[in-house]
Amino acid sequence: MIPAPAFLANPERFMAFSRWAAPALGVIAVVLALVGLWLGWSAPPDYQQGETVRIMFIHVPAAIMAMFVYACLGVASFLALVYRHVLADCAAQSAAVLGTGFTGLALVTGSLWGRPMWGAWWVWDARLTSVLVLFLFYVAYLSLRASIDDETKGSRAAAILALVGLINLPIVHFSVYWWNSLHQGSSMFTPGALAPVYAWPLYVMLLAYLAGFGSLWLVRIRGEVWRRRAEAAALRAARG
């Protein structure tokens, strides 16, 4: 059996860890975001895209987080499904809420960037369409959980759906290479593809989004642990 991280298997240890880790990550996220925004707005306009390049500093991290959070949802769903870890189920549910936000942000900010650059708010391009499918997987996961009264059955069905949706992640990533696309290819992790004056604010903003997600994820999981404790106590009281 694959040993799960100790904090995933032990709610008490997780609650002790997240009590200080959540606010610490929150502070780190705010500081990094302020630095990233300062650097981003200090960069000169791009020679091709002009001032719209500033949308990159909020759009690209949101798009990367949309995929990263779905990967977290997939891992947590796997652990919840196979090992029946309650905390893993809490983590999956919490990740889905946050991932929906990041994916929605990637779509909306991308649309606001696309209109002045491509002349269209939306095109049925492989990258845009696969990210829309990712958004629909998040919505379907949350809807499926909410639609089944028995929470255990609901979480198992949603976990299976989350695992099926993992197949969309490589499609999102490689869509710009597999099909003709208006969307540019990956430049963030390609050496030399971005001038340092744009790359640095982008890296700092990505770290800010990562820290922000970490903080909010821990807070949401803590809330889920308390919800289940409250409901378990109410059930015990009702049984007398």
Binding site for another protein (CB under 8 A): 37-39, 41-42, 45, 50-52, 54-55, 58-59, 62, 97-98, 101, 104-105, 108-109, 112-113, 115-116, 212, 216, 219-220, 222-224, 226-227, 229-230, 233-234, 237
Nearer to another protein, 84 or 227 (CB): 227
Nearer to another protein, 46 or 148 (CB): 46
Nearer to another protein, 62 or 172 (CB): 62
Q: Say what angle helices 151-165 and 126-147 make with each other, to 10 degrees.
A: 170
Closest contact distance (angstroms) between CB of 81 and another protein is 24
Nearer to another protein, 137 or 217 (CB): 217
Closest contact distance (angstroms) between CB of 215 and another protein is 8
Q: How far apart are CA 70 and CA 206, in angstroms?
A: 16
Identify the three-state secondary structure at position 46.
strand
* CA-wise closest residue to 34 among 190, 204, 227: 204
What the block records as the tokens of 162 is 């989350």
Closest contact distance (angstroms) between CB of 170 and another protein is 26
Closest contact distance (angstroms) between CB of 106 and another protein is 10
* CA-wise closest residue to 91 among 185, 230, 216: 216
Contact 4, 79 (CB under 8 A): yes
As beta bridge partners, residue 50 has 46
H-assigned helices in the chain: 6-9, 11-42, 56-82, 86-118, 126-147, 151-165, 168-178, 196-239
Nearer to another protein, 116 or 170 (CB): 116
How many Cα neighbours within 13 Å face the side chain of 137? 28
Closest contact distance (angstroms) between CB of 45 and another protein is 8
What the block records as the tokens of 204 is 């700092």
Nearer to another protein, 158 or 216 (CB): 216
As beta bridge partners, residue 88 has none
Closest contact distance (angstroms) between CB of 56 and another protein is 10
